[in-house]
Amino acid sequence: MVKQLHLAVMEEARNRWDQLTKPPGSLGKLEEIGIRLAGIQGTVFPSVERRAVVVMCGDHGVTAEGVSAFPSEVTGLMMQNFAGGKAGVNVLARQMGADVHVVDVGSRCEVEIPGVLRKKIKSGTDNLAVGPAMTRDEALAALEVGRETARNLSADGVQVIALGEMGIGNTTPSSAIAAVLTGHPLAELVGRGTGIDENTLSLKGQVIQRALDVNQPNPQDALDVLAKVGGLEIAGLAGVVLGAAEAGTAVLVDGVIAAAAALTAYRMEPAVGAYLFASHLSQEPAHRVMLAAMELSPLLQLEMRLGEGTGAVLAMPLLEAATRLVREMATFADLGL
């Protein structure tokens, strides 16, 4: 169960922000962040000192259709890279003081990688262009992996969890999920992912349209959408969102894949929305549409399109800034006003 935010504490926090030595509202989104964190943690003086990024990894049968600029093998190679601390997200997580947790919920990589938590539900999804990517039970099992991961991190004292992922081909299911759950025209939701050319972009749109025609996912049933046109790491991240919100932990949504996962969780349990923060605006067109569907406003715009949780980790200091301002700024009363 996801609890409602502490409304009385939020009211108290709003009052405090208004008493700080600045014109009311002048710290913009930082004020909203501070007030919402107060509501999440049940204190006017919240903390995001304990931070983690969960990188869920999975492979995709749909790569057989040629929808990515890179082969599936890159997923496993990047898992080794994460474990070695040398991927983009590792560098940024070190700078921002976040622990990196890499979870293999469904890659095709069969070798054991020290430092990668092995929770494989299956070795990659089936090709969603010809049938369901997963069974409902497989999607539920992947959700549970994420939920348990978030529950454990929260029990360990982590106060904010960033959503990271790795899975060659995963912008394809992300756009499919966006199309079904937002009802937006598919043509406006397909992007270049790892950097595909014009012809491949057009092919990718056709592949996703075929996936929707063949699977007929039910927009009223987010689990059906997730199983039929989603991915194992997307399901894992949706589980992280549910588990974090259930534990009262804030979540930083990353790019388009993380947003597809968050939107899926949001449709399963709308109360998770209050726990979500959007880090940045990705170059992928489906990102903006999905964030809007969750009424989230991105903090950064850096023309990023990497994933892994890189944007989400970059936004952690902004959450910290909100917590410091409310704690350290003087009030008008302090000034004798």
Ligand X SMILES: O=C(O)c1cccnc1
List residues binding ligand X (CB under 6 A).
171, 193-194, 254-257, 282, 284, 287, 305-307
C-beta of 87: minimal distance to ligand RBZ in Å?
7
Note whether 70 binds ligand RBZ by CB under 6 A.
yes
**Structure-token pair, residue 211:** 């996936």
**By rule CB under 6 A, what string of x and - marks binding of each residue 283-312 to ligand RBZ?**
-----------------------xxx----
C-beta of 177: minimal distance to ligand RBZ in Å?
13
Choices 160-168, 209-217, 260-268, 269-277; region in contact with ligand RBZ by CB under 6 A: 160-168
Q: Integer distance in angstroms from the first to the last C-alpha of the chain?
A: 44
Q: Which is nearer to ligand RBZ, 38 or 261 (CB)?
A: 261
Choices 112-120, 127-135, 168-176, 289-297; region in contact with ligand RBZ by CB under 6 A: 168-176
**By rule CB under 6 A, what string of x and - marks binding of each residue 76-105 to ligand RBZ?**
--x---------------------------
Note whether 171 binds ligand RBZ by CB under 6 A.
yes
C-beta of 313: minimal distance to ligand X in Å?
12
C-beta of 7: minimal distance to ligand X in Å?
33
Q: Which among ligand X, ligand RBZ, none contacts residue 61 (Cβ within 5 to 8 A by kind)? A: none
What's the one-letter identity of residue 320? E
Q: Which among ligand X, ligand RBZ, none contacts residue 256 (Cβ within 5 to 8 A by kind)? A: ligand X
Q: Which among ligand RBZ, ligand X, none contacts residue 254 (Cβ within 5 to 8 A by kind)? A: ligand X
Q: Which among ligand RBZ, ligand X, none contacts residue 167 (Cβ within 5 to 8 A by kind)? A: ligand RBZ
**Over the chain, what HEC string results?**
CCCCCCHHHHHHHHHHHHHECCCCCCCCHHHHHHHHHHHHHCCCCCCCCCEEEEEEEECCHHHHHCCCCCCCHHHHHHHHHHHCCCCHHHHHHHHHCEEEEEEEEECCCCCCCCCEEECCCCCCCCCCCCCCCCCHHHHHHHHHHHHHHHHHHHHCCCCEEEEEEECCCCHHHHHHHHHHHHCCCHHHCCCCCCCCCHHHHHHHHHHHHHHHHHHCCCCCCHHHHHHHHCCHHHHHHHHHHHHHHHHCCEEEECCHHHHHHHHHHHHHCHHHHHHEEECECCCCHHHHHHHHHCCCCCCECCCCCCCCCHHHHHCHHHHHHHHHHHHHCCECCCCCC
Q: Which is nearer to ligand X, 224 or 254 (CB)?
A: 254
Asked if 161 and 95 touch (Cβ cutoff 8 Å), the reply is: no
Note whether 68 binds ligand RBZ by CB under 6 A.
yes
Note whether 170 binds ligand RBZ by CB under 6 A.
yes
Q: Which among ligand RBZ, ligand X, none contacts residue 284 (Cβ within 5 to 8 A by kind)? A: ligand X
Neighbours of 29 (CB within 10 A): 13
Note whether 166 binds ligand RBZ by CB under 6 A.
yes
**Structure-token pair, residue 148:** 């348990």
The residues assigned a catalytic role are 308
Q: Which among ligand RBZ, ligand X, none contacts residue 169 (Cβ within 5 to 8 A by kind)? A: ligand RBZ
Q: Which is nearer to ligand RBZ, 155 or 187 (CB)?
A: 187
Q: Is the dihedral of CA 268, 274, 277, 282 positive or negative?
A: positive
User: Residues in the site for ligand RBZ, rule: CB under 6 A?
Assistant: 68-70, 74, 78, 165-172, 193-194, 306-308
